[in-house]
Structure 1
C-alpha cells in the first residue's frame, strides 16, 4: 500500500509533531488562569487543604490512570493475539494518546493509529481492523453504560444544576446527550455491520475516509487495505465469544478507571461526605461531559474541558474557585502526562521507523 510513500508519511507525521503540544498547553493554561483569577479568593484557598490524606488520594488517582492504560495495553495484546509485547503495546498506546491529545476531540488519534500499528509490524488491513475493533469496543461500553445509568439515576438531577444562570443550559444537555447517544449508536451499528456482516461496506467507508485531505495521497492504496480488512474481518468473525469478552472487559476497566479519576480527586479534598449515589452521579455526568468534549474544536478538548468541568461538576464543590482548581488538578493527572510522554517517545519512534 502507498502508506509507505515518504511524502505521505511525512505529511501525516507533520500533523502530530511534538511541537504541537504548545497549543493545547497554552489554551488549557489560559482558560484555567482566567477561571482562577476570576473565582479564586482567600475563602477558596482556605477550603483547599493539602495533607497526607490528599497525597494518598492523588496517588490513587494516578493509579487509576495506570489501570486505564494497562486496560488499553491488555486490549491491544488481546486483539493482536499476543503478537505485541507489553513494551510495544505501551509505546503504541502512548503514541495514540499523544495524538489524541494534540488533535481536536472529534478527530482523535484513530487515523494515525493505523500507521503506528503498521510500522510496528502489522499489515495495513489488520491494523485497520484492529483500530476499528477498538472503536467498536469503546462505543459498546458507552452504548451499554449510558442507558444503565439513566435507568438507575434521577434524570432531572443528571441534567440539572443549582448553579445560578445555568439551569436552562443544562436542561438542553438532555437533548444534546440524546442526539450524541444516537450518533454513537449509529456509528456502532455501522461498525458492527461492517466488521461482522458486510466488510465490503466497511471497505467502501475506508475509501471514503481516505478522501480526506490529510489522507488523500493514500487513496490508491486504500483499496488494497480494504481487501485486507475483508480478510481480517473473516478472522475476527471466527474469534470465539471468550476473545471478545476479554477484550471488552479490558475496555470496561480502562474507561471505568478513567472516569473514576475525578471521583478520587474529589475524595482527596473532602468538602462534604459524598454518598455512593453522589459518586455514581459524578461518574454519570462524566459520560455526558464526554459527549460535549467530542465536539470541542480545540486540541484534546483543551480549555473547553476545564470550562465544562467547572460548570457541570460544580454542584459537588463548595465554590466556583474550588471547581476551577479541581479542573486544573484533573487535567494535570489525566491529560498533560500524555503530552510529555509523547514528546519523549515520538521522535525516537520516528527515527527508528522512518530515518535510516
Structure 2
C-alpha cells in the first residue's frame, strides 16, 4: 500500500477531492458493517438460532481475523470451528456448520463465474493490460472455483461419508494417530449433522444462501463505493471488476492477501480512476475500511476465545489439584 502511494501520489492532489463525494466513505463503512451482520446472521441461521447474536458476531469476527492474518488459501474456517466449540457445539456439529457455510460461499462463486463470463462479452472485465497471462490466470481460477464448488457440494450434501473417510485416513498417519479415536467419533457427529442439514426444507437453504450472497455483495460493493467517493467512474464495470478481483483474492498466498490484493486493486480499478494520483489514496481508504477495521474487531473476538480457554484450563487444573488433595487427606487414603 505504501509502495502504491509512493508511485502514484503527487503533491496537491488532495485539493481535487470533492466534499460532495466524501459521504461515500461513510457509506462504505456502513456497507462494511452490513457485511459483518449478514455473515453473522448466516452463522446464526445455520446453527438454527442456537447461537446468540453476540456469539454469532464473535464466531464471524474470529473467522475474519484469522483469514486476515493467514494466507488466503488457508482461510479462517479452522478458527471458526474452534470458536463454535467454545460456544457449546461439539466438534462434529461445528465442522458441519462451518463446512455448510463454506459450501454456500462456493455456490455463490459458482454463480459468479458465469456472470463474469457473460459480462466479459460486453465489458472489459479483465483489463487488457494484464495480457494473456491475466486472462489465462482468470480462466484457470474460474475452472478451479467451479471444481472446488462441485467437490464441496458432493461432500457436504451428497456424500458426507467421503469427508469422513478422508479425515480418518489422514489420522492413520504416525504423527496424527494418537488422536484417531476422538476424531473418529467427531466425524460420526459430522456425518450425522450433515444428514440433518440435508433434510432441512428448501426455505432453509434459500435463506442461508441469501444471507451469504448479501455478505458477498457488500464485500464486492466496497471497492466501487470507495472509487466513486473520490471520482466519477463506470459503476457497472467497476462492480464487475470488483467481483473478478475478489475471486482472485482467494488464491493470494500472503497473510490476508497483503501485497497481492493492493496490486489487483490497482490493476482492476486503477484504469477507471482518471487521476492516477488517487489510486494510492483509494487503496488506502479501501484497505482501512475492509481489512483493518475487521482485524481490530476480530482481534478482540479471538482474544476472548483464547482467554476463555486459559480460564478453563486453569479451572480444570485447580479442580484436579483439589480432587487429588481430597483423596490424599481422606481416611481411606491414609490407611
TM-score tier, shorter chain, comes to 0.7 to 0.9
* Contact 2:125–2:240, Cα closer than 8 Å, also in 1: yes
Q: Corresponding residue for 2:305?
A: 349
**Partner residue, 2:294:** 338
Q: Equivalents in 2 of 1:210, 1:112: separation in Å?
A: 20
Runs of 4+ in 1 over 6 A off after TM superposition: 209-217
The answer on whether the counterparts of 1:159 and 1:171 sit within 8 Å (CA) in structure 2 is no
Map of 1:323 onto structure 2: 279
Question: Alpha-carbon deviations, 1:170-203, whole Å to 9, x = none?
Answer: 4322221221122121211111111222111011
Alignment pair present for 1:85 and 2:43: no
For 1:213 and 1:107, the matched residues in 2 are separated by 23
1:250 to 211, 220, 238: 211
Distance 1:56 1:213 in 2: 58
Change (3 A) 1:318 1:207: farther
Distance 1:170 1:158, change over 3 A: farther
Query: Which entry has the higher C-alpha Rg, 1 or 2?
Result: 2
SS of the residue 1:300 aligns to: coil
Paired residues of 1:72 and 1:251 also in contact (CA < 8 A): yes
Report the Cα offset of residue 304 of structure 1. Answer: 1.6
**Which of residues 24, 28, 34 is equivalent to 1:67?**
34
TM-score (ref. length: structure 2): 0.86
Contact 2:104–2:209 (8 Å) recurs in 1: yes
SS at 1:126 equivalent:
helix
Map 1:252-291 → 2, pairs under 5 A: 252-270=213-231, 272=232, 274=233, 278-291=234-247
Aligned-pair CA distance for 1:220 = 4.6
Q: Which residue of 2 aligns with 1:4?
A: none
Counterparts of 1:350 and 1:223 in 2: how far apart (Å)?
26
Matched, 1:225 2:225: no
**Shift of the alpha carbon at 1:132?**
0.6
> Once the 2 structures are TM-superposed, how far is the Cα of residue 301 of structure 1 from its aligned partner?
0.6
| d(CA) in 2 for partners of 1:45, 1:212 | 59
1:80–1:215 distance in 2 versus 1, CA, 3 Å: farther
Between 1 and 2, higher relative CO (CA 8 Å, sep ≥ 6) is seen in 1
Contact 2:67 2:76 in 1 (8 A): yes
Determine the structure 1 residue equivalent to 2:114. 147
Which of the numbers 32, 36, 61 marks the counterpart of 1:94? Answer: 61
Give SS of 1:154's match. helix
Measured at CA, do residues 203 and 316 of structure 1 come closer, stay the same or move farther in structure 2, by a change above 3 Å? same
Counterpart for residue 330 of structure 2 = none
| 3-state SS in 2 of match to 1:335 | helix
Name the residue aligned to 1:189. 150
CA–CA separation in structure 2 for the residues paired with 1:263 and 1:156:
16
Per-residue CA deviation, residues 80-134 of structure 1 (Å, 9 max, x unaligned), is: 1110111110111111111111000000101221111111111111111111101
